[in-house]
């Protein structure tokens, strides 16, 4: 999950890393008051979970509290990349002497966290790494031993930074490294980390992401930031289909179902599983010329009601003509139960299962029982001797035949 | 021969009294695996399919006359996984298969680092374990013994997969093609796992039974790039064929979303399916588009090698 900048700053501040005297608000009047308290020029920054704020006009400078209020009012109404801001951050306009970059990320190959530091802050670090590799310092550190300041010092010194800057920056990077671990972050970035004209070193912007899996043990922090359990910070709002699938999944502990339809607009509904099988089958349908209406995952051993619920939601999606029920070879999922579930879904929607299910391909334990039920309803099915891609091809063919026989009326 | 486990391998199941653990214990025993004990704190004295349950790993060792089991299958909930794995490693267990899903990355990294210090190896988390066809299996891979037997026949191909289910689908395809499987490993679907492809390659390299490798890959992470680097740096005798799932995730509309496994989240430009396919192919690893193309691709690579 990603934190808003004002939350990230609070996290940084609590870790002992200096920040400017900023304020967060959801109202223009309050923005004026914060600007007044700060005294002097301010920066008004949109609080959205997306990049490119500056370009989109989400960051504006103000000389007076009135101007701050006007900018805040405009920014609060400004949608950026499909996101409405949660509020604005009012920050003193800092007089910057030098900008630095500091972050910690996971190195999945080394399986250790890695500190990144640059004396060329304020710009995209990947660009700096490409154009000025000698200005980027990297330092891995142990997952088991406490982080020592010298590790941060080495990382900074590798870029040629020395003198007072080195001694002032070292504890900041070391604290960021500790923070990364203590808070289960997957990204902890301060950019820019600035030396101001008064000689102080402060974080002027912070970007933090925390691992979803760690939310249960970071409850205290999340409560302090007033982040509710249902605030999942997904990159997009769940669609009605996605929300409905989640609700069905949550209502019954047996098996797991997931469904997504953001970005899918096809006519072939997919009732598929499990993790890797769903990825493979979605690709397979597309490579065979089909157009999936959704993505889904059946995992574990779901009840008839759960399989039925998923299939019904897929069938009720706009534009869905048929569903393909397919999985890679399963070992725990009861094939007959899934068969019962999808047939029930068709019947409850007054659809003929034999016509509606374009293909059924779930090989595994209990397949004989499943095949008996499928035979009864005249549903086309296959076993493991038919590959996942061949099954997808048949499903796509069955949908397209249908399209030829009954052409859909063109919208006038 | 095989890698990691053989007919003599002994192991324990941590969290053995859980519902899924009970069935995987049954499945492994039926398949011929040697499970010497189970651990669930507070459940000492119980018996699961004939396997005695203890409170600690130390008690299992004591009960077994001081013999440390070769491996452990860890199925405890995510909040307790790290402690269970540390317990096994500190007891001297050298092969740990972590089945549990949703273990935070920091915990995984800590377990892997301790394992490295103690000379132990971790497979997973979020995996189904591994199987040596006809010999033994460690974890729920392949399901009930009868079904495992149907999909996995002994042969010459090593299989590594980020998806547990697809390990079986691919192995079944190899079995149907008469090629069979030497050892198949579900390596886990998370962003950080104990053993990535490149880290298992030296073991397959040393295994005479294995003549070629098939991998199942997905978007997210750098482990395919790491494998490509390993291939470039090592003059391996083993041809590799890859299958890449999740190509649709490269679409603009899917940006920032993860599908299938936690590890599929694309965090950098090297993580996309297209980028990985290019990298693997550059390293001489063909990336097939369909599972049913795998046997022919493997045969072709083997023929190339023997002609050279």
Mean pLDDT for B238-255 is 93
What residue spans define the domains of chain B?
A: 10-307
Residue B288 CA to its chain's centroid (Å): 21
pLDDT at position B253: 84
pLDDT band at B6 (very low <50, low <70, confident <90, very high): very high
Residue A237 has pLDDT above 90, yes or no: no
Closest CB to A279 among B108, B260, B292: B260
Q: Does B66 touch chain A (CB under 8 A)?
A: no
Chain A residues with beta carbon closer than 8 angstroms to that of B272: none
Nearest chain A CA: its distance from B174 CA (Å): 12
pLDDT band at A24 (very low <50, low <70, confident <90, very high): very high
Look up the ipTM and state it: 0.96
Residue A117 has pLDDT above 80, yes or no: yes
**A114 phi and psi angles, rounded to 5 deg:** -130, 125
Please judge whether B191 and A106 are an interchain contact, meaning their C-beta atoms are less than 8 angstroms apart.
Answer: yes
Residues of chain A with CATH 3.30.1490.20: 22-93
Closest CB to B290 among A260, A282, A387: A387
Q: Does B202 touch chain A (CB under 8 A)?
A: no
Give tens-digit pLDDT for A159-201: 999 999 999 999 999 999 999 999 999 999 999 999 999 999 9
**Beta carbons of B213 and B241 less than 8 angstroms apart:** yes
Is residue A9 helix, strand or coil?
helix
Residue B227 has pLDDT above 90, yes or no: yes
pLDDT at position A402: 58
**Beta carbons of A276 and B263 less than 8 angstroms apart:** no
Q: Does B223 touch chain A (CB under 8 A)?
A: yes
* Top-level class of domain A1-20+95-234: alpha beta
Which CATH architecture best describes the domain A22-93?
Answer: 2-Layer Sandwich (3.30)
Cite the DSSP H helix spans in chain B.
19-31, 57-63, 78-90, 105-118, 145-151, 164-176, 197-205, 223-233, 273-282, 294-307
pLDDT at position A122: 83
Cα dihedral B105, B111, B117, B119 sign: negative
Residue bearing tokens 């509606």: A356
Q: Which one of B145, B169, B216 makes the best mutation probe of the A interface by having the most chain A beta carbons within 10 Å?
A: B169
pLDDT at position A408: 39
Residue bearing tokens 């909040």: B79
pLDDT at position B27: 97
Mean pLDDT for B239-245 is 98
pLDDT at position B193: 97
- Identify the CATH number of the domain defined by range A240-405: 3.40.50.261
Catalytic residues of B: 261
Mean pLDDT for B245-267 is 85
Please judge whether A385 and B176 are an interchain contact, meaning their C-beta atoms are less than 8 angstroms apart.
Answer: yes
With a CB cutoff of 8 Å and minimum separation 6, the contacts of A309 are A245, A248, A257, A341, A345
**Beta carbons of B108 and B190 less than 8 angstroms apart:** yes
Nearest Cα to Cα of residue A42 among A99, A106, A91: A91
**Beta carbons of B264 and B245 less than 8 angstroms apart:** no
Residues of chain A with CATH 3.40.50.261: 240-405
Q: Does B178 touch chain A (CB under 8 A)?
A: no
Chain B residues with beta carbon closer than 8 angstroms to that of A285: none
Chain B residues with beta carbon closer than 8 angstroms to that of A142: 113
Task: Please give the residue of chain A at the shortest CA–CA distance from B192.
Answer: A108
Question: CA B28 to CA A162: how far, in whole Å?
Answer: 60
Residue A134 has pLDDT above 70, yes or no: yes
* Top-level class of domain B10-307: alpha beta
Chain A residues with beta carbon closer than 8 angstroms to that of B218: 276, 279
A51 vs B11 pLDDT, higher one? B11
pLDDT at position A410: 39
Give tens-digit pLDDT for B28-55: 999 999 999 999 999 999 999 999 999 9
Q: Does B226 touch chain A (CB under 8 A)?
A: yes
pLDDT at position A236: 74
% of chain B exceeding 70 in pLDDT = 100
Mean pLDDT for B58-84 is 97
Q: Which one of A108, A125, A235 makes the best mutation probe of the B interface by having the most chain B beta carbons within 10 Å?
A: A108
Q: Does B159 touch chain A (CB under 8 A)?
A: no
pLDDT at position A407: 39
How many other CB atoms are there within 10 angstroms of residue B79's CB atom? Answer: 15
Quote the tokens at residue A85. 């801001």
């Amino acid at each position: 999950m990603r934190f808003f900048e004002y939350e990230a700053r609070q996290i940084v501040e609590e870790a002992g890393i200096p920040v400017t005297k900023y304020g967060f608000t959801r109202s223009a009047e309050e923005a004026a008051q914060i600007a007044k308290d700060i005294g002097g020029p301010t920066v008004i920054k949109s609080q959205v979970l997306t990049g490119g704020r500056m370009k989109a006009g989400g960051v504006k400078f103000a000389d007076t509290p009135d101007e701050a209020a006007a900018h805040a009012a405009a920014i609060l109404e400004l949608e950026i990349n499909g996101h409405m801001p949660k509020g604005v951050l009012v920050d003193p306009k800092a007089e910057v002497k030098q900008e630095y970059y500091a972050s910690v990320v996971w190195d999945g190959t080394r399986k250790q966290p890695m500190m990144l530091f640059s004396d060329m802050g304020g710009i995209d670090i990947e660009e700096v790494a490409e154009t000025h590799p000698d200005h980027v310092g990297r330092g891995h550190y142990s997952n088991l031993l406490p982080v020592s300041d010298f590790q941060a010092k080495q990382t900074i010194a590798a870029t040629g930074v020395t003198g007072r800057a080195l001694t002032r920056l070292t504890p900041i990077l070391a604290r960021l490294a500790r923070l990364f671990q203590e808070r289960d972050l997957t990204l902890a970035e301060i950019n820019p980390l600035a030396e101001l004209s008064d000689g102080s070193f402060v974080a002027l912007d912070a970007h933090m992401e925390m691992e979803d899996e760690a939310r249960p043990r970071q409850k205290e922090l999340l409560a302090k930031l007033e982040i509710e359990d249902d605030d999942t910070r997904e990159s997009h709002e769940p669609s009605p289909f996605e929300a409905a699938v989640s609700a069905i999944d949550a209502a019954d502990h047996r098996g797991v179902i997931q469904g997504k339809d953001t970005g899918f607009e096809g006519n072939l509904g997919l009732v598929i599983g499990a993790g890797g099988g769903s990825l493979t089958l979605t690709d397979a349908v597309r490579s065979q010329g089909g157009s999936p209406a959704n993505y889904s995952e059946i995992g574990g051993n779901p009840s008839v009601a759960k399989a039925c619920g998923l299939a019904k939601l897929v069938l009720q999606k706009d534009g869905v003509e048929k569903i393909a029920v397919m999985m890679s070879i399963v070992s725990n999922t009861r094939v007959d139960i899934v068969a019962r579930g999808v047939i029930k879904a068709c019947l409850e929607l007054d659809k003929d299962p034999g016509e509606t299910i374009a293909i059924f391909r779930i090989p595994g334990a209990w397949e004989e029982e499943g095949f008996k039920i499928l035979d009864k309803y005249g549903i086309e099915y296959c076993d493991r001797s038919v590959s996942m891609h061949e099954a997808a091809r048949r499903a796509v063919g069955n949908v397209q035949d249908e399209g030829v026989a009954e052409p859909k009326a063109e919208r006038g | 021969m095989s890698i990691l486990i053989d007919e003599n391998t002994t192991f324990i199941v941590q969290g053995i009294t859980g519902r899924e653990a009970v069935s995987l214990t049954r499945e492994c025993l039926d398949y011929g695996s040697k499970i010497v004990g189970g651990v669930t704190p507070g459940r000492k004295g119980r018996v699961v399919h004939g396997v005695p349950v203890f409170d600690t790993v130390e008690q299992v060792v004591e009960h077994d006359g001081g013999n440390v089991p070769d491996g452990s299958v860890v199925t405890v909930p995510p909040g307790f996984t790290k402690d269970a794995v540390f317990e096994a490693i500190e007891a001297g267990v050298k092969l740990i298969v972590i089945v549990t899903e949703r273990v935070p990355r920091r915990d995984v990294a800590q377990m892997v680092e301790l394992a490295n210090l103690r000379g132990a190896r971790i497979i997973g988390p979020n995996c189904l374990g591994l199987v040596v066809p006809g010999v033994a299996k460690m974890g729920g891979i392949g399901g009930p013994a009868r079904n495992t037997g149907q999909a996995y026949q002994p042969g010459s191909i090593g299989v590594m997969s980020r998806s547990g289910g697809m390990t079986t689908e691919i192995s079944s395809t190899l079995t149907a093609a008469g090629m069979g499987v030497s050892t198949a490993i579900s390596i886990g679907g998370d962003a950080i796992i104990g053993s990535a492809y490149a880290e298992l390659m030296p073991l397959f390299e040393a295994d005479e039974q294995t003549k070629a490798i098939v991998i199942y890959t997905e978007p997210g992470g750098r482990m395919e790039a790491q494998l490509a680097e390993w291939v470039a740096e090592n003059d391996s005798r083993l041809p590799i064929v890859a299958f890449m799932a999740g190509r649709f995730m490269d679409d603009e509309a899917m940006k920032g979303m993860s599908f299938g496994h936690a590890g599929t989240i694309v965090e950098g430009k090297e993580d996309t399916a297209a980028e990985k396919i290019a990298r693997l192919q550059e390293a001489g690893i063909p990336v097939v588009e369909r599972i049913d193309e795998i046997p022919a691709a493997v045969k072709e690579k083997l023929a190339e090698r023997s002609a050279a």
